[in-house]
Copies of this chain bind each other. A is one copy, B any other.
Amino acid sequence: MSGDPILAIDAMGGDDAPAVVIEGLARFCRRRDDVAFHLHGDEAKVSAALRDAPEVATRSEIIHADGSVRMDEKPSQALRTARGTSMWNAIEAVKEGTADAAVSAGNTGALMAMSMLRLRKMRGVHRPGMTAFWPTVNGVSVILDVGANLEADASQLVTFAIMGEAFARALMGIENPTVGILNIGSEETKGHDEVREAAAILSAGEFGMNYVGFIEGDDISMGAVDVVVTDGFTGNVAIKTAEGTARMFTHFLRNAFSSGPIAKLGALAVANGMSEMRDKLNPSNSNGAVLLGLNGIVVKAHGGSEPDGYANAVNVAMNLVGGHYLEGVADGLARLTDREKPAAE
């Protein structure tokens, strides 16, 4: 157990913390046991929650923190009073190297702000990018940026591609993840300057990346690429639009299945197939957003997480640690930096 990765857990982050957090860790432990947890939070509350989860307790050390960040606090406000909170201490542990990654279901804005402040951007990264998972017909894809920034110039889009590729490789074990830039047409002449310039850089092939070109909105759910690169405004609208559309379908399905006694029997008959579908589209399975581009790994679990969702976010953190994600990104960024200033040397 001594060589196992150590995760710094913000045990007080999220709507039902620490109960949901500990239950999530317990579910993760049923999948893997090569991990140790540092549980940052209120000692009394955390140890009470641990009583029902001996499999977590044996792998955990509680590190007391007096305060916690409220879910509705503004990032700027949270930053002022952040020092010593469970969230702050978890991030600090990553910075100090006493943990390999941090996981929090707490206030997203505060988590991003603190992570940027304490972990700093990697060399070569102008703006970090927020990832999200996107269920597709043939599995799951990664999209970034989904809202860390409002805009992205060509060089930022290229950085997102590099980080997203390393992320997908570490996380999904794909040797050469396919990468596409989201655009409003697939021809090279389409789109605004930023996407066309980024495409030209990636097409040149210097990064040894499996760049496939432009993709359109309808290609994402079809699983056309493993990594979808876009600016934070477009990415955020796209993923929320997909969520809304999925919700609409669920609404219509529920109506169809309850439209009469025969339909209700029919619903029972297709229940197996439907539960497979629900499983594939279950948000828990795509839980765990990551702010890419920092000197350290911080995974955000959804605030209202189900324990399964939290377990999945923990899994994301573990795979990034084990998949040598940070080294992969540093590698790609070094090639980008070399490219950007050969003439000056």
Q: Using a CB–CB distance below 8 Å, which chain A residues touch chain B?
A: 135-137, 147, 150-151, 182, 184, 191-192, 216-222, 230, 232-234, 236-249, 251-253, 255-260, 262-263, 265-270, 272-274, 276-277, 280-281
Assess the B270–A257 pair: CB atoms within 8 A.
yes
Residue from A136, A241, A257, A263 with most neighbouring chain B CB atoms (10 Å): A241
Q: How far is the CB of A238 from chain B (nearest CB, A)?
A: 5
- Chain B residues within an 8 Å CB radius of A272: 256, 259-260, 263
Complex Cα gap A73–B290 (Å) = 44
Chain B residues contacting A182 (CB-CB under 8 Å) are: 237
Can you tell how many copies of this chain the complex includes? 2
- Cβ-defined partner of A150 (8 Å) among B191, B218, B240, B277: B191
Name the CB-closest residue of B to A276: B256
Q: State A150–B234 Cα separation when bound (angstroms).
A: 12
| From B151, B236, B244, B265, contact of A266 by CB (8 A) | B265
Pick the contact of A273: B150, B237, B263 (CB < 8 A).
B263
Which of A137, A191, A232, A265 has the most CB atoms of chain B within a 10 A radius of its CB? A137
Identify A243's interface contact among B218, B234, B236, CB under 8 A: B218
**CB-CB nearest in chain B for A192:** B150
Most B-side CB within 10 Å, residue of A217, A243, A253: A217
A238: nearest chain-B partner, CB-CB: B241
A147 x B242 contact (CB < 8 A): no
Q: Which residues of B contact A217 (CB under 8 A)?
A: 236-244
Inter-subunit contact B236/A184 (CB<8 Å): yes
7 contacts between A and B (CB under 8 A): A150-B191, A217-B241, A217-B243, A242-B242, A259-B276, A263-B270, A266-B267
| Known pairs A237-B238, A256-B273; A137 contacts B221 (CB<8 A) | no
Distance in angstroms between the alpha carbons of A318 and B30 in the assembled complex: 63
Whether the Cβ atoms of A256 and B274 lie closer than 8 Å is yes
